[in-house]
Amino acid sequence: MTTDKNELFGKLNLRWMAIGAVVILAGILLMAGGKSTDPNVFSDNEVYSFRRITLAPLLIIAGLLIEVYAIMKKSSGN
């Protein structure tokens, strides 16, 4: 196999992209749920919890920032 030196992203960039994708996925999974078994009952403790209102969006934003860093980081020929 020959290695192409003109690759757009290096191994380190791809690793950072994978880390960012995992952080975004974790944020989405933390935000999911909150459905009540009874449609006539609204549980504001489940819907408006710290996990869904604060933690999950912060994880998604952190994941997006990691993705931007991974894309902008200059590949060092690795």
Residue 26 in contact with residue 76, Cβ under 8 Å? no
Closest CA to 65 of 16, 30, 25: 16
* CA atoms of 51 and 23, how far apart (whole Å): 14
Q: What's the CA gap between 74 and 26, in Å, rounded?
A: 27
Tokens of residue 24, six digits:
């975004």
pLDDT for 6 equals 65
**DSSP assignment, residue 20?**
H
Per-residue model confidence (pLDDT) at position 3: 56
* Sequence ranges of the domains in the chain: 11-32+41-72
Q: Does residue 54 carry a pLDDT above 90?
A: yes
Residue 5's pLDDT is what? 64
